[in-house]
A and B are shown apart, each in its own frame.
Chain A
Amino acid sequence: MGITKKVTVLALGLGMAGGLAACGSSSDEGTGSGDSKTVTLVSHDSWAASKDVIAAFEKESGYKVKVLEDGDAGQAVNKAILTKDNPQGDVFFGVDNTLLSRALDNGLFQPYEAKGSDLVLPEYRADGDKHRVTPVDTGDVCVNYDKAYFSKRGLTPPKSLDDLVKPEYKDLLVTENAGSSSPGLGFLLGTAAQYGDGGWEGYWKKLKANGVKVVDSWEQAYNEEFSGSSGGKKAKGDRPLVVSYASSPPAEVIYADPQPSTAPTGVADGTCFRQVEYAGLLDNARNAKGGKALLDFLIGERFQNDMPLNMFVYPVREGARIPEAFVKYGPQAKDPGTMDPAKIADNRDQWVKSWTSLVLK
């Protein structure tokens, strides 16, 4: 290879870097959320919606929807707070009741009462008449069980939190780190809701003595450790009880190929804690008008009907359609644990800290 060729290679490299930088700056225009024809939704990476439903909104409103999925639920909220002076979008969707106070205290949202707010079932409403957030969906964090495991041994699956500390369920449960996982935090709050400020630590001591395993993420608990999920079966998971969602059994059916006639997993109805997810108009949103239209859309009938099978959550709008598979394989908990947002706000960080040193160390 001659000198000229070498120089060409080097020049190519340099030119490439320069050229790419140029591309970068030119493609920049038109993608910014500054233009009033685009409305940008910032969410976590569980966001999902059907294409035709979004297309219908775009057609009716005249706005183009851009979605930025920003990591897991907690991360997306924290990131939105960090960038709130110059937000990445107009609407944020995906802050749940466990983290709501963090978003509100940091001034993430500006008030807007979405059209159709009156049709949101009252138990899901929050923030009084300030209307900084709009409830969009709800789901229950519940212990799921592996049906095959329990039927093979003729053992009754647990039904309640009390059951989980019984000797027959020793070394069976896997849960998530309350400090790092949204269902893990939900489960901790569920125990606090049931056993109270003075009692939850005693319950967790018993749970620890009964061999609860704690892993960092839902993915790991559900797809690796749990023996009832398709991922867990492949990974030879050996824990037949896992903290997951009430809607996980229908997901096991819908995503399986071929689909089984019954769900391979069930839900322990008395272990549930209710999560509600909210959306809000970001403070300093560039396209506030578009953002308002998008919020109206999120609690509109079309989106509420479409959402359950996309995100495996329940609608909050009165009369919204609940998919057949949910009714069949994953009904909502009848009497889930709940907690006042103000109480969560006051205690969350301290509880997580105590829980960490109690259970993990």
Chain B
Amino acid sequence: MARLALMAGPVAFFAVFFAYPVAAIVARGLEVDGVWRFGRIGDVLAQSDVRHVLWFTTWQALASTALTLLVALPGAYVFARFDFPGKQVLRAVVTVPFVLPTVVVGTAFLALVGRGGLLDELWGVRLDTTVWAILLAHVFFNYAVVVRTVGGLWAQLDPRQEEAARMLGASRARAWRQVTLPALAPAVAAAALMVFLFTFTSFGVVQILGGPAFSTLEVEIYRQTSQVFDLSTAAVLTLIQFAAVVAVLAVHAWTVRRRESALRLVDAATTARRPRGAGQWALLAGVLATVALLVVLPLAVLVQRSLGAPGFGYYRALTEADGGAFLVPPIEAIGNSLQYALAATAIAVVIGALAAAALTRRDAGRFVRGFDALLMLPLGVSAVTVGFGFLIALDEPPLDLRASWILVPLAQALVGVPFVVRTMLPVLRAVDGRLREAAAVLGASPWRVWREVDLPMVRRALLVAAGFAFAVSLGEFGATVFIARPDNPTLPVAVARLLGRPGDMNYGQAMALSTILMLVCAVALVVLERLRTDRSGEF
């Protein structure tokens, strides 16, 4: 019963703000006079263009995921196990790309790997309109996903377990393979799944860096809905993407379930130490160099371009309402964005924490496991579909929210919840169930068990989850652009609008606003890092 009560909130939230709007827009495309035309699915799939899109979407997502894991897993280890100056700031910095609007990242990346970019000047290499630019940008975007998801758990694994295995005669490789790897596997799987989902549904990066010749399902859905206005093709593609994502999630749920085990978690602060020996220093140096090249450099290009006018001219221009691109000074977008993102974070944390708590229970049945996968679906469904769905579904009483500002945080929370659940589940599931049972036997209420057993152990995960939810909300563009009110633009929406206008001032202001967005995220993430260490001493 308690489980059902916990689940009621998240289920209602997803039914009303996700399933209903998406169903409404799909119905608009496929339902004619009350008859569903599922025959369209066959027609659309028969087109070679569509099959080409499917194939490209899949292989580039697989390649991006593999590349991201390859590049970021050493980073996760370094962030989890090593102590070095500036670690907190750096952890925040690598997360910044994740929240930048794709239009900004695309522009910055073009300056790096495009014509006249750094690679071009050094070696005459240009990667724009090649798949390599897309893959690199995907790594840039998702580096933090792996570092934070895997590193978060890694930091809490007791190193003494591996040491014990070594003492008992296991080789270093064997100790890692048989002790650390199995414990880490759910987090690696979760991270890989997230990266795959993000790259499978990649939109802005593919459009900007790949050019019109490359098209993922998400890009094609956007084109069919927003440009060609062929709603039935868009609906079919939405369903295909939906089915693909469900299949991936099902496989993931199966692998994770097989590997789950109760872990001995310790305070993250006690596991990290200074690197020792040449090998470890080299590893640290390698990771830092990767971060500098892959993450810091594109961000630096952005900052450099925002300073193109003398005396911070672009920044000063942001405070003026010119009556042109905006009804309000662009600088106000910062306040809007923060408010929306805070609201979205609050919603996502509450919904996500309830869902994670419900899913943790060992007696979870098939229904609950299905619910686990369901929570991830918003990441796999086109933001364009969700945005349009909100518009046509949430416009009548009792849900007439279309003119209300809460619509934006609701849409942003949809992409935030999966992060909260994903970050908290591995840790929550790793809590030894006997602790809960012991507390219950001693007379604690379920609420008190959660508060005194689970919460202290997952507090850190909760904060990381909140940070992620905040960050993705701040950078969310695909759905927000459809529903944000023009007099209350968010930062990414404002940047896109400025980029859409000719002239140096608008371009410079877009770069300046992007830089501000980047700094806001960095500051928020650094604060979060501080919060984390203040509290982790209590474990």
Contacts and interface: CB of A to CB of B under 8 A. Distances in A.
Interface of A: 1, 3, 6-7, 13-14, 16-17, 20-21, 23-25, 27-28, 31-33, 45-46, 48-51, 67-72, 74-75, 78-79, 81-83, 86, 88, 102, 177, 179-180, 214-216, 218-220, 222-224, 229-231, 234-238, 244, 248, 251-252, 254-257, 310, 312, 349, 352, 357, 360-361
Given A82-B392, A254-B503, A20 B211 contact: no
B477 to A, nearest CB: 12
Contacts of A86: 395-396
Which of B308, B327, B504, B538 gathers the greatest number of chain A CB atoms within 10 Å?
A: B504
B406 A20 contact: yes
A257 B313 contact: yes
B228 interface: yes
B502 A229 contact: yes
A68 B485 contact: yes
Contacts of A88: 391, 402
When A and B form their complex, which 3 residue pairs have the shortest distance between CB atoms, in order from nearest?
Answer: A255-B503, A236-B116, A24-B406
A224 B229 CA distance: 28
22 contacts: A25-B404, A25-B406, A33-B403, A45-B486, A50-B323, A67-B486, A74-B227, A78-B229, A82-B388, A83-B392, A222-B502, A230-B504, A231-B507, A234-B308, A235-B107, A235-B110, A236-B117, A255-B506, A256-B505, A257-B313, A312-B502, A352-B228
B349 interface: yes
Contact of A360 (B213, B347, B482, B497): B213
A216 B211 contact: yes
B212 A224 contact: no
B212 A1 contact: no
A237 B400 CA distance: 47
B346 A219 contact: no
Contacts of A28: 400-401, 403-404
A27 B404 contact: yes
B32 to A, nearest CB: 15
Interface string B523-539: 00000000000010010
Nearest to B505: A255
A70 B110 CA distance: 27
Interface of B: 28, 49, 107, 110-111, 114-117, 207-208, 211-213, 223, 225-229, 305, 308-309, 313, 323-325, 327, 342-343, 346-347, 349-350, 388, 391-392, 395-396, 400-406, 409, 451-452, 455, 459, 481-482, 485-487, 497, 499-507, 535, 538
Contacts, number: 173
A33 B487 CA distance: 15
Q: Which one of A6, A49, A238, A312 has the greatest number of beta carbons of chain B within 10 Å?
A: A6
B409 to A, nearest CB: 7
Most buried by A among B402, B497, B507: B507
B489 to A, nearest CB: 9
Contact of B391 (A20, A83, A218, A251): A83
A48 B325 contact: yes
B228 A13 contact: no
A264 to B, nearest CB: 10
Given A49-B323, A79-B391, 20 more contacts: A16-B346, A25-B406, A27-B404, A32-B400, A45-B500, A69-B497, A75-B226, A75-B227, A78-B225, A82-B391, A86-B395, A180-B212, A224-B110, A229-B503, A234-B507, A244-B502, A256-B503, A257-B313, A310-B324, A312-B502
Contacts of B535: 1
B406 A231 contact: no
Contacts of B107: 224, 235
A20 B409 CA distance: 10
Contacts of B212: 177, 179-180, 214-216, 360
Q: A16, A23, A224, A238 — which one has the most chain B CB atoms within 10 A of its CB?
A: A224
A70 B485 CA distance: 9
A252 B28 CA distance: 43
A216 B208 CA distance: 7
A58 to B, nearest CB: 14
A179 B212 CA distance: 9
Contacts of A180: 212, 223, 227
Contact of B323 (A46, A51, A222): A51
A215 B507 contact: no
A50 B323 CA distance: 6
A27 B207 CA distance: 37
A328 to B, nearest CB: 16
